């Protein structure tokens, strides 16, 4: 089990939460770094939707809204501080460039989760599948690189694994399954993804996940360069 968290304005609150997670059996911290504040969502403003996050883990601190406690003054050295203070591995979630991946690793990150927050934070941010190659190239030999965002089919999982993701995380489909049929719905969603991936691997001639390589995907530029060489 991994505990996803933010750096809080009150650093004592950050450590308290992290150590509570550790005592509860969590074995790593997933530190989200792409949420210094909520993004403007005009359709929600128009509909007067109220973003309130009644997060049980934060109830002892009388916190109900993320913007009231998420730190806006984070620095890279906070990674090493959190790691040393808690004794837990730190996975950095929200990295989209090779430069930031390098900074995260140089400052103590044990793994990186390539994520764009579901595309809900910054308009124009790259799709995670587009950002993945440069990050894998930069730090993939040193630490594990994971990916989430936009994963809807087993084919999506295959592509991410081929580009170099060690693990592919799934968000919204799991939520849909949970809403439709509780834990059974979640299991059904995961079963669908597993069956699709198995089918895709069979057709692609990859008996095991270890057989999936970068040679199994090709980008648009690859085709363009191939066409130029023919012409």
> Is 117 an annotated catalytic residue?
yes
Phi, psi of 101, deg, nearest 5: -60, -40
Contacts (Cβ under 8 Å, ≥6 apart) of 156 = 129, 150, 168
Specify which residues 167 forms β-bridges with. Answer: 146
Query: Model confidence over 51-103: pLDDT tens digits?
Result: 555 566 666 666 656 666 777 888 899 999 999 999 999 999 999 999 999 99
Which residue ranges make up each domain of the chain? 2-230
- The topology under which CATH files domain 2-230 is TIM Barrel (3.20.20)
From 43, 117, 194, 216, the catalytic residue: 117
Quote the strand ranges of the chain, DSSP E. 2-5, 28-32, 90-95, 111-114, 144-147, 167-168
pLDDT tens, residue by residue, 126-163: 889 999 999 999 999 999 999 999 999 999 999 999 99
């Amino acid at each position: 089990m991994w505990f996803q968290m933010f750096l809080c304005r009150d650093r004592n609150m950050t450590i308290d939460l992290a150590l509570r997670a550790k005592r509860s059996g969590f074995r790593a911290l997933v530190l989200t770094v792409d949420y210094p504040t909520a993004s403007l969502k005009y359709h929600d403003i128009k509909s007067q939707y109220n973003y309130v996050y009644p997060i049980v883990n934060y109830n002892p601190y009388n916190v109900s809204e993320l913007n009231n406690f998420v730190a806006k003054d984070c620095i890279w050295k906070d990674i090493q501080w959190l790691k040393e203070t808690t004794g837990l591995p730190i996975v950095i979630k929200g990295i989209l460039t090779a430069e930031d991946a390098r900074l995260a690793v140089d400052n103590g990150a044990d793994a990186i989760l390539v994520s764009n927050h579901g595309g809900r934070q910054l308009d124009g941010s790259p799709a995670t599948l587009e950002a993945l190659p440069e990050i894998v190239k930069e730090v993939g030999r040193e630490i594990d690189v994971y990916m989430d965002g936009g994963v809807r089919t087993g084919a999506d999982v295959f592509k991410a694994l081929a580009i170099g993701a060690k693990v592919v995380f799934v968000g919204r489909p799991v939520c849909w399954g949970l809403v439709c049929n509780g834990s059974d719905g979640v299991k059904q969603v995961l079963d669908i993804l597993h069956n699709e991936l198995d089918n895709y691997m069979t057709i692609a001639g990859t008996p095991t996940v270890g057989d999936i390589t970068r040679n199994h995907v090709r980008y648009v530029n690859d085709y363009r360069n191939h066409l130029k060489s023919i012409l």
